[in-house]
Copies of this chain bind each other. A is one copy, B any other.
Amino acid sequence: MNVRSYNLCPMARTSGSHSDITGPRLRAAAQRLFARQGYAAVSMRQIAAEVGVQAGALYNYIPDKQGLLFDLMKSHLDDLIAAWQAEAKGQNPLDALECFTRFHIRFHLERPDAVFIAYMELRNLEPENFAVIEDLRKRYETVLEDILRAGKESGVFSLPDTKLATMAVIAMLTGVTTWYRDDGRLSRDRIERIYWNMVRKAVGA
């Protein structure tokens, strides 16, 4: 008998499934802790304590710590790309750029922890995992690059260097997550509007 026998909230069981609510809770706890302290600084025992189990139990749901990080990052980027594909995209480059700007800010502000991890923990991925994530990130950047190129070619945007403008706009938009607070001075919609204004002017439209 041990102290955990007093656990008042035993896991629900769904018979035949090997993943009840502990799996999602593990991922949620890991996401929170990795974002706040960094992958390398968080121990499996810390995550387990947050979930309410012993460390060994986590390995019913993940292959290892690295696999956990990879899953979190891949899920985030898969979500990001899927969400963009489900978005109304605009009929012309200017509309498309506004859609992208607003979508990017909205999506990223809703998932600050996932965003933080995806940008900060790249160096903690093993090479093959890194390649997968990097490919997804690049695919998303290409969305913006294509919009900017189309706008440049049709004369709507004025850009000396499309690739550089892509990086500049992405950096500017993603930067929102570093200072935004839910109880802050500005609403998300107002932030979207102000950023869209700056982006529009920055690309010369």
A residues neighboring B (CB under 8 Å): 36-38, 40-41, 120, 123-124, 160-161, 163-165, 167-172, 174-176, 178-179, 185-186, 191, 194-195, 197-199, 201-204
Contact = CB atoms under 8 A, between A and B. Distances in A.
Contacts of A203: 198
Given A38-B124, A40-B41, A201-B202, A168 B164 contact: no
A185 B202 CA distance: 22
B197 A168 contact: no
B204 A160 contact: no
Nearest to A160: B194
25 contacts: A37-B124, A38-B38, A38-B40, A38-B123, A40-B40, A40-B41, A41-B124, A120-B120, A163-B185, A164-B194, A165-B198, A167-B178, A168-B175, A168-B176, A168-B195, A170-B175, A171-B171, A171-B172, A171-B174, A171-B176, A172-B172, A172-B175, A198-B203, A201-B202, A201-B204
B168 A172 contact: yes
Contacts of A170: 175
Given A120-B120, A175-B167, A161 B40 contact: no
Contacts of A172: 168-169, 171-172, 175
Contacts of A168: 172, 175-176, 195, 198
Nearest to A120: B120
Nearest to A198: B202
A108 to B, nearest CB: 12
